[in-house]
Amino acid sequence: MARENPGWGYRRVHGELLGLGHNVAASTVWSILKQAGINPSPQRVDRSWAAFLKAQSSAIVATDLFHIDTVFLRRWFVLFFINHGTRRVHIAGITRHPTSLWITQQARNYLMDLGDHAKSIKFLIRDRGAYFTDSFDAVFQAIGVHVLPTLPRVPRMNAIAERWIGSCRREATDRILITGERHLRLVISEYAKHYNQHRPHRSLGQRPPDLLTKPEPPTTTHHHRQHSRPSTRSTRRPHPRIHAGRIG
């Protein structure tokens, strides 16, 4: 019971055993767990936020909004979603005025683009920006997704999304003078394509998100035959008896 339920301490296991009709003392349960090398305390499980993200990564999607200033001092906002398990990023939209109605519509479009894959999402992480309203949350809650707002001034709770923003700035937008909306859309879409299809990720075994399948190792047994060749570097003459025999 303790191995299958890491959050149970010896008291919980004792109660479950009593419910099953096994009349044993709590101290006996404690001793059995100790002898088996299992900590009787229920705190043997890491309950940190990082542990939760790692355990549920395949079912978590994060979203965020960041701004880009053009050379003409106009500010544009980019809304994106990123899957924690695959690290695949989806650019939802670009606008100068991120209103609640606009962001809610981008959330609907995102789920429509996912199709049946939307069923795999169980949690959505977002910050507490005023543009993420109840109508935005309702789009995801309608399909059974739990919306998890981050704590105020704790950007590490949305670290995956924040890291992508940093990568996008360092590798793309900070290296180019953006002239306008059309130029920004081109730069962001090209970088997202590069990020998903080519850029290696340490968490994915140095593979990009779209190439998660491990390539088969090369083999020489199917298409190539190996042949041994006598060394031509030796200058020693063969023994005379070798030529005396019959060949064939």
pLDDT along the chain (248 residues), means of 10: 77 86 88 82 59 74 95 96 93 96 96 91 93 95 94 88 94 94 96 92 80 49 45 46 42
- Domain limits, CATH 3.30.420.10, in the chain: 52-209
Cβ proximity of 67 and 77 under 8 Å: yes
CA distances from 229 to 58, 156, 199, 226, 240 (A): 53, 62, 43, 10, 22
Q: Give the dihedral sign, CA 183/184/187/192.
A: negative
pLDDT at site 218: 43
Report the top-level CATH class of 52-209. Answer: alpha beta
* CA atoms of 179 and 8, how far apart (whole Å): 58
pLDDT at site 214: 44
Query: Alpha helices, DSSP H only, in 115-158?
Result: 134-141
Cβ proximity of 97 and 175 under 8 Å: no
Cβ proximity of 128 and 149 under 8 Å: yes
pLDDT at site 155: 84
pLDDT at site 4: 77
Q: Give the dihedral sign, CA 68/72/73/74.
A: negative
pLDDT at site 15: 87
Tokens, residue 186? 């081109």
Q: Give the dihedral sign, CA 160/95/118/151.
A: positive
Angle at 185 between CA 180 and CA 188, to 5 degrees: 120
Read off the DSSP letter of residue 176: S
pLDDT at site 42: 61
CA distances from 153 to 98, 106, 137, 156 (A): 21, 25, 20, 9
